[in-house]
């Protein structure tokens, strides 16, 4: 997962950490996934972190590996292109990674369930968010211009309630 560290878009970190907490809970509830995570984390320790602990950090949150820079990415155009994030459009960037190249049978069901849990966290987050939609219409010489804008990013419910209660 990634987010931008940008003073003009201060909610990236709040969103990333809110999503991370939801993803960890969802993944922990996938039947059979924690033993796989434990094996993968032990393998990562044995063949990676043991030899280069500074570079091969263990980004494990409650038993689930989440690659995420705690400080986010700087908001330079190079980083935005590299991470696939544009703060006014794409405020979340993440994907699942499982050793699934030759998966079949029950193992395929397990890694698919983990991917589905990740996707459902994002879909539920979007479905539960309060949308701030502005519709405008202007008459012009060639017709009418209609515009629909949705303010981004969508904040976690607790943050959205706090933001709407703050004086403007």
Q: How remote is the C-alpha of 63 from its chain's centroid?
A: 18
pLDDT, position 102: 84
- What are 87's strand-pairing partners? none
Q: Are 88 and 104 in the same domain?
A: yes
Q: Are 120 and 159 in the same domain?
A: no
pLDDT, position 139: 92
Q: Are 38 and 121 in the same domain?
A: yes
Q: Are 152 and 96 in the same domain?
A: no
Q: Are 83 and 106 in the same domain?
A: yes
Supply the range of the domain harboring residue 142.
133-165
pLDDT, position 130: 77
CB atoms inside a 10 Å sphere around CB 114: 22
Q: Are 103 and 161 in the same domain?
A: no
Angle between helices 33-44 and 12-28 (to 10 degrees): 120
- The number of distinct structural domains making up the chain is 2
**DSSP-derived pairing of the beta strands 4-5 and 73-74:** parallel
Q: Are 83 and 10 in the same domain?
A: yes
Q: pLDDT tens digits for the chain (168 residues)?
A: 777 777 777 787 888 888 999 999 999 999 999 999 999 889 888 888 888 877 777 788 999 988 887 777 776 544 444 555 666 666 677 777 776 678 889 999 999 999 999 999 999 988 888 777 889 999 988 899 999 988 777 777 766 555 555 544
Q: Are 79 and 161 in the same domain?
A: no
Q: Are 137 and 98 in the same domain?
A: no
The length of the chain is 168
Total-model pTM: 0.76
pLDDT, position 8: 76
The answer to whether the beta carbons of residues 59 and 66 sit under 8 Å apart is yes
Q: Are 35 and 104 in the same domain?
A: yes
Q: Are 12 and 28 in the same domain?
A: yes
Q: Are 100 and 144 in the same domain?
A: no
């Amino acid at each position: 997962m990634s987010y931008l560290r940008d003073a003009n878009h201060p909610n990236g970190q709040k969103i990333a950490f809110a999503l991370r907490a939801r993803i960890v809970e969802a993944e922990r509830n996938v039947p059979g996934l924690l033993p796989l995570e434990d094996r993968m984390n032990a393998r990562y320790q044995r063949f990676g972190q043991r030899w280069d602990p500074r570079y091969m950090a263990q980004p494990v949150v409650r038993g689930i590996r989440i690659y995420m820079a705690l400080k986010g990415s700087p908001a330079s155009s190079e980083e935005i292109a590299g991470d696939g994030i544009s703060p006014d459009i794409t405020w979340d960037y993440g994907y699942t990674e499982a050793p699934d190249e030759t998966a079949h049978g029950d193992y395929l069901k397990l890694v698919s369930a983990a991917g589905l849990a990740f996707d459902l966290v994002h879909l539920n987050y979007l479905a539960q968010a309060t949308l701030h939609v502005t519709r405008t219409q202007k008459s012009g010489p060639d017709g009418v211009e209609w515009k629909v804008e949705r303010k981004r990013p969508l904040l976690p419910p607790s943050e959205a309630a706090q933001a709407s209660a703050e004086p403007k």
